Amino acid sequence: MSPYSSSGLEVRDLSVTRGAFTLEVDFALPPAGVTVLFGPSGAGKSLLLSAIAGLTPLRSGGVRLDGRWLEGPDAPVRAAAHERRIGLVFQEARLFPHLSVRDNLRYAQARAGVSAAPMGFDEVVAEFGLGDLLGRSVRGLSGGEKSRIAIARALLAAPRWLLLDEPFAALDGRRRRERLVHLRDLSARADLPMIVVTHLVEDVVDLADHVVALRAGRCVISGDVAGAMAGEDFLSLLEDRDVGARIDRPSVRSGGTQARGGAVWVRADTVILASSAPSGLSARHVWAGRVRSMRREAEGSCLVRLETEAGDLLSRITQEAAEELSLSPGGAVWAVVKTHAF
C-alpha cells in the first residue's frame, strides 16, 4: 500500500488512449511539493495531465484526490473537470485573445465561483508581477508574459493541485530558472502541490521534490528526486550529452563564497579526471575521489562513475585516456569541474 493512500493524488491502473497510443500508469504522489513529470517528447506527459484534470476520459482505472475518487470504478459519479479543483496550465497558455489581461484573470475567477480563494486577485497579480500588464491586450505579449498570466489565471480558481505543462518553454537560461524557482517557492508558501512537465534535465534539478518519469506511455520512475535522478532508469531517458549526476550545489573553495543551497546537475562531459592531485588549475572545483565503476561506450568513450567528496559523479572520457591514467575500480582519482559547467 502506498504511504500516500489517504491523501495526495493517486493514479491507479490508469489506461487512456489517443489514436494508436496507449498510456498505462499507476503511481501515487505526496500531497505537498513539486512533482516533475519527465520524459521524452511523445511519452504521454500531456495526455496524463489531461486525464488527471478530467479532460480526457479514462479507458480504465481511476484517479483519487485526498482519499476521494474523482473517476474510476469506485467513484460514485465521474467528477467533471471543473469540479475537480485541479488547475491545468497548457503549454501554449490558451488565453482569450480578444480580452485584456485583467479580463482574462477576472473571467477565470468569476467562472470558478470560488468565494474563499486562498490568494485574492491583487495578491496573485503582485505574485506574478502583472500590475503593469493588466490593461494590455493579450495579443502582442511575450511567451514568458503569457505563461505568467496563464498560471495566475489558474491560481485564481483556487485549485487544490496545479498541473503545468512545460511552463516557460519560451524562456531559457537564467530567466527560466528564476521563474521555476519562483514556482517551487510558491508551491511551498501557498501549500499548493504541483505537477510540472518538462523534458529538460535542469528543470528536474531546479524544481523537483518528487519525480515521475514516462517512456512510451509507461511509468518508469516514481520516487523522491535524489534517488530518482541517481538511478540507471533516469539516465537511460537522457540524451548522451545530458548524462550526469545531481550533487548539492558546491561552494567555491578559495573565494569564500557560501554554499547557496539547492542542487546542480554535473554533466559527465564536463568532468575532467586526473590520476594525481592536480594543482595550478583555473577550475574552481577539484574533488578527491575513487573510481566506483567503468563502462565502455560506443565511439571510443568510457563512462566512469566516481565517489567523491562532493558526491557521486559521472565522467565521460576517451578509452585512450582511461588507459593512460590506468583507471580501475577502487583506484584513487581527482575530478575537476569548471564552475561554469553548472
Question: Using the rule CB under 6 A, is 41 a contact of ligand ADP?
Answer: yes
Region binding Mg ion by CB under 5 A among candidate stretches 17-25, 41-49, 137-145, 233-241: 41-49
Q: Indicate the SS3 state at residue 129.
A: coil
Interface with ligand ADP (CB under 6 A), residue total 11
Nearest distance in Å: CB 54, ligand ADP = 16
> Residue 161 has which C-alpha cell?
493541485
Instruction: For residues 281 and 272, give the distance between their C-alpha atoms in angstroms, rounded to a whole number.
Output: 12
Question: Using the rule CB under 6 A, is 47 a contact of ligand ADP?
Answer: yes
Q: Indicate the SS3 state at residue 341.
A: helix
Question: Using the rule CB under 6 A, is 44 a contact of ligand ADP?
Answer: yes
Find cell 594543482 and name the residue.
Answer: 279
Find cell 490508469 and name the residue.
Answer: 14
Interface with Mg ion (CB under 5 A), residue total 2
Region binding ligand ADP by CB under 6 A among candidate stretches 41-49, 123-131, 203-211, 227-235: 41-49
Question: Using the rule CB under 5 A, is 46 a contact of Mg ion?
Answer: yes
Region binding Mg ion by CB under 5 A among candidate stretches 37-45, 116-124, 257-265, 295-303: 37-45
Transcribe 188-253 into DSSP letters. Answer: HHTT--EEEEES-HHHHHHH-SEEEEEETTEEEEEEEHHHHHHSHHHHTTS-GGG-EEEEEPPPPT
Question: Using the rule CB under 6 A, is 42 a contact of ligand ADP?
Answer: yes
The residues near 101 (Cβ < 8 Å, ≥ 6 apart) are 130, 133, 134, 135, 136, 137, 138, 141, 149
Question: Using the rule CB under 6 A, is 167 a contact of ligand ADP?
Answer: no
Which residues of this chain interact with ligand ADP, rule CB under 6 A? 18-19, 21, 39, 41-47
List residues near Mg ion by CB under 5 A. 45-46
